[in-house]
């Protein structure tokens, strides 16, 4: 669903400032790169498959664009997002008083 930079970063974004590096931590030592990615997964998607796909896609993108060798990519699932169903949204809208 999204990247997560933690509660502090999310609060700052709600106040109107964008943080384009949120949810990603990169360490480069010599010619090896270590990447930590913090993500929110939508309910119903298989977490191991999502994490593996993120690892593969990020590794390919970093190595292709930068030429750096990626030593490790750690995917941290910080939350699971549950979408509201249309019936839940309709029920919520019934209580709006204008």
Predicted local distance difference test score (pLDDT) of residue 71: 94
Nearest by Cα to 23 from 11, 48, 43, 40:
40
Predicted local distance difference test score (pLDDT) of residue 10: 53
Q: Is the pLDDT of residue 60 over 90?
A: yes
β partners of residue 3: 39
Structure tokens at 98: 């204008």
Whole-number CA gyration radius for the chain: 18
**What are the extents of the domains in the chain?**
2-93
d(Cα 54, Cα 34) in Å, to the nearest integer?
Answer: 14
Structure tokens at 19: 């943080």
Q: Determine what percent of the chain falls in helix, strand and coil, rounding each to the nearest 5.
A: 35, 35, 30
Q: Is the pLDDT of residue 97 over 50?
A: no
d(Cα 17, Cα 64) in Å, to the nearest integer?
Answer: 30
Predicted confidence (pLDDT) per residue in 71-89, tens digit: 999 999 888 888 776 655 5
2-93 has CATH 3.30.300 classification: yes
Band of residue 94 on the pLDDT scale cut at 50, 70, 90: very low
Q: Is the pLDDT of residue 27 over 60?
A: yes
Mean pLDDT computed over every residue of the chain? 77
Report the predicted TM-score, pTM, of the whole model to 2 decimal places.
Answer: 0.66
């Amino acid at each position: 669903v999204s990247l997560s930079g933690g509660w502090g970063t999310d609060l700052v974004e709600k106040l109107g400032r964008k943080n384009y590096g949120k949810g990603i931590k990169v360490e480069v030592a010599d010619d090896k790169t270590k990447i930590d990615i913090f993500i929110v997964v939508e309910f119903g998607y298989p977490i191991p498959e999502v994490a593996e796909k993120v690892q593969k896609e990020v590794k390919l993108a970093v190595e292709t664009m930068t030429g750096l060798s990626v030593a490790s990519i750690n995917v941290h699932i910080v939350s699971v997002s549950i979408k509201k169903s249309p019936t839940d949204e309709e029920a919520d809208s019934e209580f709006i008083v204008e």
